[in-house]
Chains A and B, each alone.
Chain A
Protein backbone atom coordinates (compact mmCIF):
# COMPACT_ATOMS: atom_id res chain seq x y z
CA UNK A 1 0.00 0.00 0.00
CA UNK A 2 1.20 3.48 -0.83
CA UNK A 3 -0.11 6.52 0.98
CA UNK A 4 0.54 10.12 -0.02
CA UNK A 5 -0.21 12.96 2.35
CA UNK A 6 -0.56 16.63 1.50
CA UNK A 7 1.89 16.71 -1.43
CA UNK A 8 2.90 20.18 -2.62
CA UNK A 9 5.19 20.83 -5.56
CA UNK A 10 6.02 24.03 -7.43
CA UNK A 11 8.27 24.92 -10.33
CA UNK A 12 9.21 28.56 -9.78
CA UNK A 13 5.97 30.42 -9.21
CA UNK A 14 3.91 27.68 -10.86
CA UNK A 15 2.16 25.62 -8.18
CA UNK A 16 1.78 22.24 -9.87
CA UNK A 17 0.54 20.20 -6.91
CA UNK A 18 -1.44 21.69 -4.04
CA UNK A 19 -2.01 19.36 -1.13
CA UNK A 20 -2.69 16.00 -2.79
CA UNK A 21 -3.49 13.07 -0.51
CA UNK A 22 -4.60 9.53 -1.32
CA UNK A 23 -4.25 5.87 -0.45
CA UNK A 24 -3.39 3.26 -3.10
CA UNK A 25 -4.11 -0.31 -2.07
CA UNK A 26 -2.33 -3.46 -3.22
CA UNK A 27 -4.01 -5.86 -5.63
CA UNK A 28 -6.19 -3.22 -7.26
CA UNK A 29 -5.48 -0.94 -10.21
CA UNK A 30 -5.17 2.62 -8.98
CA UNK A 31 -5.51 5.39 -11.55
CA UNK A 32 -4.43 9.02 -11.40
CA UNK A 33 -6.36 10.88 -14.05
CA UNK A 34 -6.70 14.47 -15.22
CA UNK A 35 -6.25 16.71 -18.21
CA UNK A 36 -2.92 17.80 -19.64
CA UNK A 37 -1.05 19.98 -17.14
CA UNK A 38 -3.15 18.84 -14.21
CA UNK A 39 -0.05 17.55 -12.38
CA UNK A 40 -0.50 13.78 -12.67
CA UNK A 41 2.99 12.99 -14.00
CA UNK A 42 4.53 15.39 -11.47
CA UNK A 43 2.66 13.57 -8.71
CA UNK A 44 3.96 10.24 -10.00
CA UNK A 45 7.52 11.60 -10.10
CA UNK A 46 7.15 12.90 -6.53
CA UNK A 47 6.01 9.44 -5.46
CA UNK A 48 9.01 7.66 -6.97
CA UNK A 49 11.54 10.29 -5.94
CA UNK A 50 12.38 11.82 -9.32
CA UNK A 51 10.96 15.08 -7.95
CA UNK A 52 11.24 16.17 -4.35
CA UNK A 53 7.97 17.60 -2.98
CA UNK A 54 8.26 20.81 -0.96
CA UNK A 55 5.74 19.52 1.52
CA UNK A 56 4.03 16.26 2.31
CA UNK A 57 5.01 12.63 2.57
CA UNK A 58 4.96 9.39 0.58
CA UNK A 59 4.75 6.14 2.50
CA UNK A 60 5.47 2.70 1.08
CA UNK A 61 3.79 0.26 3.47
CA UNK A 62 4.45 2.65 6.33
CA UNK A 63 8.03 3.50 5.26
CA UNK A 64 8.35 7.27 4.77
CA UNK A 65 10.13 7.71 1.42
CA UNK A 66 10.67 11.44 0.90
CA UNK A 67 12.93 11.90 3.94
CA UNK A 68 15.09 8.83 3.19
CA UNK A 69 18.75 9.18 2.20
CA UNK A 70 20.13 7.88 -1.11
CA UNK A 71 20.98 4.37 0.14
CA UNK A 72 17.61 3.90 1.87
CA UNK A 73 15.76 5.02 -1.26
CA UNK A 74 17.67 2.44 -3.30
CA UNK A 75 16.25 -0.34 -1.11
CA UNK A 76 12.69 0.88 -1.82
CA UNK A 77 13.43 1.34 -5.50
CA UNK A 78 14.49 -2.27 -5.82
CA UNK A 79 10.84 -3.06 -5.01
CA UNK A 80 9.54 -0.71 -7.72
CA UNK A 81 8.85 -1.50 -11.35
CA UNK A 82 7.97 1.26 -13.75
CA UNK A 83 6.68 1.52 -17.30
CA UNK A 84 7.50 4.91 -18.80
CA UNK A 85 5.39 6.80 -21.31
CA UNK A 86 8.02 6.30 -24.03
CA UNK A 87 8.96 2.86 -22.65
CA UNK A 88 12.52 4.12 -21.90
CA UNK A 89 14.14 0.92 -23.14
CA UNK A 90 17.94 1.09 -23.39
CA UNK A 91 18.61 1.62 -27.11
CA UNK A 92 21.99 -0.08 -27.12
CA UNK A 93 20.67 -3.30 -25.57
CA UNK A 94 18.54 -6.09 -26.99
CA UNK A 95 15.15 -6.98 -25.52
CA UNK A 96 16.80 -9.76 -23.54
CA UNK A 97 19.55 -7.48 -22.20
CA UNK A 98 16.99 -4.83 -21.26
CA UNK A 99 14.97 -7.26 -19.17
CA UNK A 100 18.07 -8.92 -17.74
CA UNK A 101 19.63 -5.59 -16.75
CA UNK A 102 18.07 -5.23 -13.26
CA UNK A 103 18.73 -8.95 -12.63
CA UNK A 104 22.41 -8.46 -13.54
CA UNK A 105 22.64 -5.47 -11.25
CA UNK A 106 20.90 -6.75 -8.16
CA UNK A 107 20.86 -10.54 -8.13
CA UNK A 108 23.51 -13.23 -7.88
CA UNK A 109 21.64 -15.65 -10.16
CA UNK A 110 23.62 -17.51 -12.83
CA UNK A 111 23.03 -16.78 -16.50
CA UNK A 112 20.60 -19.68 -17.01
CA UNK A 113 18.40 -18.59 -14.12
CA UNK A 114 18.34 -15.04 -15.40
CA UNK A 115 17.56 -16.21 -18.92
CA UNK A 116 14.71 -18.34 -17.60
CA UNK A 117 13.31 -15.29 -15.81
CA UNK A 118 13.64 -13.18 -18.97
CA UNK A 119 11.84 -15.82 -21.02
CA UNK A 120 9.12 -16.10 -18.39
CA UNK A 121 8.58 -12.32 -18.41
CA UNK A 122 8.52 -12.23 -22.20
CA UNK A 123 6.02 -15.07 -22.26
CA UNK A 124 3.90 -13.19 -19.73
CA UNK A 125 3.63 -10.23 -22.11
CA UNK A 126 3.17 -12.46 -25.19
CA UNK A 127 6.53 -11.68 -26.75
CA UNK A 128 8.17 -15.11 -26.75
CA UNK A 129 11.20 -15.40 -29.00
CA UNK A 130 11.80 -11.65 -29.38
CA UNK A 131 14.92 -11.81 -27.15
CA UNK A 132 17.47 -10.69 -29.72
CA UNK A 133 15.59 -7.74 -31.21
CA UNK A 134 16.68 -4.18 -30.48
CA UNK A 135 14.14 -1.53 -29.35
CA UNK A 136 14.40 0.19 -32.74
CA UNK A 137 13.02 -2.98 -34.34
CA UNK A 138 9.86 -3.04 -32.18
CA UNK A 139 6.47 -1.43 -32.68
CA UNK A 140 5.06 0.98 -30.07
CA UNK A 141 2.89 -1.71 -28.48
CA UNK A 142 5.76 -4.20 -28.37
CA UNK A 143 8.00 -1.60 -26.72
CA UNK A 144 5.36 -1.07 -24.03
CA UNK A 145 5.14 -4.80 -23.44
CA UNK A 146 8.94 -5.12 -23.20
CA UNK A 147 8.81 -2.18 -20.77
CA UNK A 148 6.28 -4.12 -18.68
CA UNK A 149 8.43 -7.26 -18.88
CA UNK A 150 11.44 -5.27 -17.61
CA UNK A 151 9.30 -3.70 -14.89
CA UNK A 152 8.15 -7.09 -13.55
CA UNK A 153 11.54 -8.83 -13.91
CA UNK A 154 12.41 -8.22 -10.26
CA UNK A 155 8.94 -9.17 -8.95
CA UNK A 156 8.11 -5.62 -7.84
CA UNK A 157 5.81 -4.86 -4.93
CA UNK A 158 4.93 -1.53 -6.48
CA UNK A 159 4.23 -0.95 -10.17
CA UNK A 160 4.04 2.54 -11.68
CA UNK A 161 2.77 3.08 -15.19
CA UNK A 162 2.92 6.43 -16.95
CA UNK A 163 0.46 6.92 -19.83
CA UNK A 164 0.45 3.27 -20.97
CA UNK A 165 -1.77 3.93 -23.98
CA UNK A 166 -0.17 6.99 -25.50
CA UNK A 167 0.51 6.43 -29.19
CA UNK A 168 -1.22 3.05 -29.29
CA UNK A 169 -4.25 1.95 -31.27
CA UNK A 170 -7.41 1.15 -29.22
CA UNK A 171 -7.03 -2.62 -29.55
CA UNK A 172 -3.41 -2.63 -28.37
CA UNK A 173 -4.37 -0.21 -25.58
CA UNK A 174 -6.91 -2.69 -24.25
CA UNK A 175 -4.30 -5.49 -24.40
CA UNK A 176 -1.86 -3.37 -22.35
CA UNK A 177 -4.59 -2.35 -19.87
CA UNK A 178 -5.67 -5.93 -19.33
CA UNK A 179 -2.09 -7.03 -18.92
CA UNK A 180 -1.55 -4.43 -16.21
CA UNK A 181 -4.72 -5.50 -14.42
CA UNK A 182 -3.82 -9.20 -14.64
CA UNK A 183 -0.33 -8.62 -13.29
CA UNK A 184 -1.67 -6.48 -10.46
CA UNK A 185 -4.12 -9.13 -9.34
CA UNK A 186 -1.77 -12.06 -9.92
CA UNK A 187 1.18 -10.65 -7.93
CA UNK A 188 -0.84 -8.44 -5.57
CA UNK A 189 1.21 -5.40 -6.54
CA UNK A 190 0.32 -1.85 -5.64
CA UNK A 191 -0.21 -0.51 -9.13
CA UNK A 192 -0.57 3.16 -9.98
CA UNK A 193 -1.40 4.14 -13.52
CA UNK A 194 -1.28 7.74 -14.74
CA UNK A 195 -3.59 8.19 -17.69
CA UNK A 196 -6.05 10.45 -19.43
CA UNK A 197 -7.48 7.65 -21.51
CA UNK A 198 -11.17 7.09 -20.69
CA UNK A 199 -11.08 3.52 -22.03
CA UNK A 200 -8.52 2.70 -19.34
CA UNK A 201 -10.55 4.55 -16.73
CA UNK A 202 -13.71 2.62 -17.49
CA UNK A 203 -11.88 -0.67 -18.08
CA UNK A 204 -9.44 -1.02 -15.20
CA UNK A 205 -10.04 1.87 -12.76
CA UNK A 206 -10.63 0.16 -9.42
CA UNK A 207 -9.61 3.30 -7.56
CA UNK A 208 -9.42 6.64 -9.35
CA UNK A 209 -7.96 9.92 -8.18
CA UNK A 210 -8.95 12.88 -10.34
CA UNK A 211 -6.64 15.91 -10.47
CA UNK A 212 -7.54 19.31 -11.83
CA UNK A 213 -5.20 22.29 -11.80
CA UNK A 214 -2.96 20.63 -9.23
CA UNK A 215 -5.74 19.81 -6.78
CA UNK A 216 -7.54 16.59 -5.95
CA UNK A 217 -11.12 17.05 -7.11
CA UNK A 218 -12.53 13.57 -6.73
CA UNK A 219 -11.74 9.97 -5.79
CA UNK A 220 -13.75 6.84 -6.34
CA UNK A 221 -14.13 3.87 -8.70
CA UNK A 222 -14.99 3.51 -12.39
CA UNK A 223 -18.51 2.54 -11.38
CA UNK A 224 -19.03 5.90 -9.72
CA UNK A 225 -17.13 8.23 -12.03
CA UNK A 226 -19.96 8.73 -14.52
CA UNK A 227 -22.46 9.63 -11.80
CA UNK A 228 -21.06 12.68 -10.07
CA UNK A 229 -22.16 16.29 -9.99
CA UNK A 230 -18.61 17.64 -10.18
CA UNK A 231 -18.48 19.87 -13.25
CA UNK A 232 -14.69 19.60 -13.80
CA UNK A 233 -14.82 15.81 -13.63
CA UNK A 234 -17.81 15.57 -15.95
CA UNK A 235 -16.09 17.90 -18.43
CA UNK A 236 -13.13 15.49 -18.43
CA UNK A 237 -15.10 12.23 -18.50
CA UNK A 238 -17.56 13.28 -21.18
CA UNK A 239 -15.19 15.28 -23.34
CA UNK A 240 -15.23 12.80 -26.23
CA UNK A 241 -18.21 12.37 -28.55
CA UNK A 242 -18.25 8.67 -27.79
CA UNK A 243 -18.57 9.24 -24.05
CA UNK A 244 -21.21 11.94 -24.60
CA UNK A 245 -23.24 9.53 -26.71
CA UNK A 246 -22.88 6.80 -24.09
CA UNK A 247 -23.84 9.08 -21.19
CA UNK A 248 -26.77 7.66 -19.30
CA UNK A 249 -25.92 4.06 -20.22
CA UNK A 250 -23.33 3.69 -17.44
Chain B
Protein backbone atom coordinates (compact mmCIF):
# COMPACT_ATOMS: atom_id res chain seq x y z
CA UNK B 1 0.00 0.00 0.00
CA UNK B 2 2.81 2.39 0.94
CA UNK B 3 4.68 1.45 -2.24
CA UNK B 4 1.51 2.25 -4.21
CA UNK B 5 1.33 5.66 -2.55
CA UNK B 6 5.01 6.30 -3.19
CA UNK B 7 4.58 5.34 -6.84
CA UNK B 8 1.58 7.64 -7.21
CA UNK B 9 3.54 10.41 -5.47
CA UNK B 10 6.36 10.06 -8.02
CA UNK B 11 3.90 10.05 -10.92
CA UNK B 12 2.27 13.18 -9.53
CA UNK B 13 5.68 14.86 -9.28
CA UNK B 14 6.36 13.90 -12.91
CA UNK B 15 3.13 15.68 -13.89
CA UNK B 16 4.00 18.66 -11.68
CA UNK B 17 7.24 19.30 -13.55
CA UNK B 18 5.68 19.31 -17.04
CA UNK B 19 6.23 22.49 -19.05
CA UNK B 20 3.86 25.23 -17.79
CA UNK B 21 1.15 26.44 -20.16
CA UNK B 22 2.03 30.09 -19.52
CA UNK B 23 5.05 31.18 -17.48
CA UNK B 24 3.54 34.58 -16.63
CA UNK B 25 0.55 33.01 -14.87
CA UNK B 26 2.78 30.54 -13.02
CA UNK B 27 5.13 33.33 -11.95
CA UNK B 28 2.23 35.24 -10.44
CA UNK B 29 1.13 32.11 -8.58
CA UNK B 30 4.70 31.50 -7.35
CA UNK B 31 4.93 35.01 -5.83
CA UNK B 32 1.54 34.54 -4.20
CA UNK B 33 2.68 31.26 -2.66
CA UNK B 34 6.00 32.79 -1.57
CA UNK B 35 4.05 35.43 0.29
CA UNK B 36 1.89 32.74 1.91
CA UNK B 37 4.75 30.38 2.84
CA UNK B 38 7.41 32.96 3.65
CA UNK B 39 5.95 36.29 4.74
CA UNK B 40 2.93 34.61 6.30
CA UNK B 41 5.14 32.48 8.55
CA UNK B 42 7.66 35.12 9.62
CA UNK B 43 6.02 36.01 12.95
CA UNK B 44 5.44 32.44 14.06
CA UNK B 45 8.96 31.29 13.20
CA UNK B 46 10.46 34.40 14.84
CA UNK B 47 8.66 33.81 18.15
CA UNK B 48 9.40 30.08 18.24
CA UNK B 49 13.08 30.49 17.31
CA UNK B 50 13.74 33.23 19.86
CA UNK B 51 12.22 31.23 22.72
CA UNK B 52 13.92 27.99 21.70
CA UNK B 53 17.29 29.78 21.65
CA UNK B 54 16.65 31.27 25.10
CA UNK B 55 15.55 27.94 26.58
CA UNK B 56 18.49 26.12 24.99
CA UNK B 57 20.95 28.54 26.64
CA UNK B 58 19.38 28.05 30.06
CA UNK B 59 19.39 24.26 29.72
CA UNK B 60 22.99 24.12 28.50
CA UNK B 61 24.03 26.39 31.40
CA UNK B 62 22.13 24.13 33.81
CA UNK B 63 23.85 20.98 32.54
CA UNK B 64 27.38 22.40 32.31
CA UNK B 65 27.93 23.29 35.97
CA UNK B 66 31.65 22.66 36.32
CA UNK B 67 34.67 24.78 37.03
CA UNK B 68 36.58 22.89 34.33
CA UNK B 69 34.20 23.93 31.52
CA UNK B 70 34.41 27.54 30.35
CA UNK B 71 31.08 29.31 30.04
CA UNK B 72 31.88 30.29 26.47
CA UNK B 73 30.89 26.72 25.61
CA UNK B 74 27.26 27.71 26.23
CA UNK B 75 27.35 30.07 23.26
CA UNK B 76 29.11 27.66 20.92
CA UNK B 77 26.85 24.70 21.80
CA UNK B 78 23.77 26.85 21.32
CA UNK B 79 25.11 28.13 17.99
CA UNK B 80 25.87 24.68 16.57
CA UNK B 81 22.64 23.12 17.86
CA UNK B 82 20.58 25.97 16.43
CA UNK B 83 22.29 25.96 13.04
CA UNK B 84 22.56 22.23 12.52
CA UNK B 85 19.40 20.88 14.03
CA UNK B 86 16.95 23.11 15.85
CA UNK B 87 16.39 25.85 13.31
CA UNK B 88 15.94 23.64 10.23
CA UNK B 89 13.98 20.87 11.92
CA UNK B 90 11.76 22.90 14.25
CA UNK B 91 11.03 25.40 11.49
CA UNK B 92 10.14 22.54 9.13
CA UNK B 93 7.89 20.79 11.63
CA UNK B 94 6.08 24.00 12.53
CA UNK B 95 5.62 24.80 8.84
CA UNK B 96 4.42 21.26 8.13
CA UNK B 97 1.58 21.98 10.55
CA UNK B 98 0.83 25.48 9.32
CA UNK B 99 1.51 25.29 5.59
CA UNK B 100 1.01 21.54 5.08
CA UNK B 101 -2.52 21.42 6.42
CA UNK B 102 -3.47 24.53 4.44
CA UNK B 103 -2.10 23.10 1.18
CA UNK B 104 -3.77 19.74 1.70
CA UNK B 105 -7.17 21.18 2.57
CA UNK B 106 -7.03 23.75 -0.24
CA UNK B 107 -6.25 21.17 -2.93
CA UNK B 108 -8.54 18.57 -1.33
CA UNK B 109 -11.47 20.99 -1.34
CA UNK B 110 -10.77 21.83 -4.97
CA UNK B 111 -10.81 18.10 -5.73
CA UNK B 112 -14.14 17.33 -4.05
CA UNK B 113 -15.82 20.45 -5.48
CA UNK B 114 -14.72 19.44 -9.03
CA UNK B 115 -12.50 22.52 -9.45
CA UNK B 116 -9.56 20.27 -10.39
CA UNK B 117 -11.75 18.49 -12.95
CA UNK B 118 -12.65 21.93 -14.33
CA UNK B 119 -8.94 22.73 -14.77
CA UNK B 120 -8.36 19.41 -16.53
CA UNK B 121 -11.27 19.96 -18.90
CA UNK B 122 -9.91 23.38 -19.82
CA UNK B 123 -6.73 21.62 -20.93
CA UNK B 124 -4.64 22.80 -18.00
CA UNK B 125 -2.10 20.51 -16.37
CA UNK B 126 -3.70 20.72 -12.92
CA UNK B 127 -0.79 19.20 -10.93
CA UNK B 128 1.56 21.74 -12.50
CA UNK B 129 -0.72 24.72 -12.03
CA UNK B 130 -1.69 23.88 -8.45
CA UNK B 131 1.43 22.26 -7.02
CA UNK B 132 4.50 23.61 -8.84
CA UNK B 133 4.18 27.18 -7.46
CA UNK B 134 3.83 25.76 -3.95
CA UNK B 135 6.94 23.58 -4.30
CA UNK B 136 9.01 26.45 -5.70
CA UNK B 137 7.79 28.70 -2.87
CA UNK B 138 8.70 25.97 -0.36
CA UNK B 139 12.23 25.33 -1.60
CA UNK B 140 13.02 29.06 -1.77
CA UNK B 141 11.27 30.43 1.30
CA UNK B 142 11.98 27.67 3.83
CA UNK B 143 15.78 28.17 3.56
CA UNK B 144 15.27 31.93 4.08
CA UNK B 145 13.08 31.26 7.11
CA UNK B 146 15.70 28.86 8.46
CA UNK B 147 18.43 31.52 8.10
CA UNK B 148 16.24 33.95 10.03
CA UNK B 149 15.50 31.26 12.59
CA UNK B 150 19.22 30.59 13.13
CA UNK B 151 19.90 34.25 13.74
CA UNK B 152 16.96 34.68 16.12
CA UNK B 153 17.68 31.46 17.98
CA UNK B 154 21.25 32.59 18.70
CA UNK B 155 19.97 36.07 19.60
CA UNK B 156 17.32 34.52 21.84
CA UNK B 157 20.09 32.56 23.56
CA UNK B 158 21.95 35.79 24.18
CA UNK B 159 18.87 37.51 25.64
CA UNK B 160 17.85 34.50 27.77
CA UNK B 161 21.37 33.83 29.00
CA UNK B 162 22.21 37.38 29.94
CA UNK B 163 18.80 38.18 31.49
CA UNK B 164 18.98 35.10 33.70
CA UNK B 165 22.66 35.65 34.53
CA UNK B 166 23.55 32.16 33.26
CA UNK B 167 26.25 33.66 31.05
CA UNK B 168 27.73 37.12 30.58
CA UNK B 169 27.33 38.93 27.25
CA UNK B 170 31.08 38.77 26.64
CA UNK B 171 31.25 35.01 27.33
CA UNK B 172 28.29 34.31 25.08
CA UNK B 173 29.64 36.38 22.19
CA UNK B 174 33.07 34.81 22.58
CA UNK B 175 31.36 31.41 22.53
CA UNK B 176 29.39 31.98 19.35
CA UNK B 177 32.40 33.42 17.50
CA UNK B 178 34.93 30.76 18.49
CA UNK B 179 35.65 27.80 16.19
CA UNK B 180 32.79 28.57 13.86
CA UNK B 181 32.61 26.16 10.93
CA UNK B 182 30.72 27.74 7.99
CA UNK B 183 30.04 24.26 6.57
CA UNK B 184 27.33 23.84 9.21
CA UNK B 185 25.37 26.56 7.41
CA UNK B 186 25.61 24.58 4.16
CA UNK B 187 24.28 21.46 5.92
CA UNK B 188 21.41 23.46 7.41
CA UNK B 189 20.48 24.97 4.05
CA UNK B 190 20.53 21.58 2.33
CA UNK B 191 18.18 20.34 5.04
CA UNK B 192 15.97 23.40 4.62
CA UNK B 193 15.77 22.83 0.86
CA UNK B 194 14.78 19.18 1.32
CA UNK B 195 12.28 20.05 4.06
CA UNK B 196 10.78 22.82 1.91
CA UNK B 197 10.15 20.25 -0.81
CA UNK B 198 8.56 17.78 1.63
CA UNK B 199 6.39 20.37 3.38
CA UNK B 200 4.76 21.36 0.08
CA UNK B 201 4.78 18.21 -2.05
CA UNK B 202 3.55 15.64 0.50
CA UNK B 203 0.44 17.64 1.57
CA UNK B 204 -0.24 18.48 -2.08
CA UNK B 205 -0.22 14.75 -2.86
CA UNK B 206 -2.56 13.98 0.03
CA UNK B 207 -4.98 16.69 -1.08
CA UNK B 208 -4.81 15.89 -4.78
CA UNK B 209 -6.09 12.33 -4.41
CA UNK B 210 -8.85 12.97 -1.89
CA UNK B 211 -12.11 11.17 -2.61
CA UNK B 212 -15.35 11.96 -0.81
CA UNK B 213 -16.33 15.11 1.04
CA UNK B 214 -15.49 17.38 3.95
CA UNK B 215 -14.61 14.52 6.31
CA UNK B 216 -12.11 13.01 3.85
CA UNK B 217 -10.56 16.44 3.25
CA UNK B 218 -10.03 16.84 7.01
CA UNK B 219 -8.56 13.33 7.25
CA UNK B 220 -6.22 14.04 4.35
CA UNK B 221 -5.12 17.23 6.05
CA UNK B 222 -4.26 15.38 9.27
CA UNK B 223 -2.49 12.63 7.32
CA UNK B 224 -0.53 15.26 5.38
CA UNK B 225 0.87 16.77 8.58
CA UNK B 226 1.72 13.40 10.14
CA UNK B 227 3.39 12.00 7.00
CA UNK B 228 5.27 15.28 6.41
CA UNK B 229 6.63 15.32 9.98
CA UNK B 230 7.79 11.70 9.83
CA UNK B 231 9.35 12.24 6.39
CA UNK B 232 11.11 15.38 7.63
CA UNK B 233 12.64 13.48 10.57
CA UNK B 234 13.71 10.57 8.37
CA UNK B 235 15.27 12.90 5.80
CA UNK B 236 16.92 14.88 8.62
CA UNK B 237 18.73 11.73 9.67
CA UNK B 238 19.70 10.81 6.10
CA UNK B 239 21.01 14.29 5.21
CA UNK B 240 22.95 14.53 8.49
CA UNK B 241 24.46 11.09 7.90
CA UNK B 242 25.44 12.00 4.35
CA UNK B 243 26.84 15.47 4.97
CA UNK B 244 28.51 15.28 8.40
Contact = CB atoms under 8 A, between A and B. Distances in A.
A106 B21 contact: yes
Contacts of A102: 122
Interface in A47-78: 48-50, 70, 73-78
A135 to B, nearest CB: 10
Interface residues of B, number: 17
A94 to B, nearest CB: 15
Given A74-B123, A82-B118, A105 B25 contact: yes
A88 B117 CA distance: 8
Nearest to B21: A105
B123 A78 contact: yes
Interface residues of A, number: 26
Contacts of A160: 121
B22 A86 contact: no
Contacts of B117: 50, 84, 88
B115 A91 contact: yes
A74 B21 CA distance: 10
B35 interface: no
Interface of B: 18, 21-22, 25, 109-110, 113-115, 117-118, 120-125
Contacts of B118: 82, 84, 88, 90
9 contacts: A49-B120, A70-B125, A77-B120, A80-B121, A90-B118, A91-B115, A105-B25, A105-B124, A106-B122
A86 B18 CA distance: 29
A90 B115 contact: yes
Interface string A88-105: 111100000000011011
B165 to A, nearest CB: 52
Contact of B114 (A74, A78, A88): A88
A85 interface: yes
A77 B22 contact: no
A185 B121 CA distance: 22
Chain B CB count within 10 A is highest, among A49, A75, A91, for A91
A104 B18 CA distance: 19
Contacts of B22: 104-106
A155 B82 CA distance: 58
A86 B114 contact: yes
Nearest to B32: A92
A101 B162 CA distance: 56
Given A77-B121, A82-B121, A104 B25 contact: yes
Contacts of A90: 110, 115, 118
A77 B115 contact: no
B22 to A, nearest CB: 6
A89 B122 CA distance: 13
Nearest to B112: A86
Contacts of B115: 88-91
Contacts of B124: 105
Contacts of A50: 117, 120-121
A160 B117 CA distance: 13
Contacts of B125: 70, 74
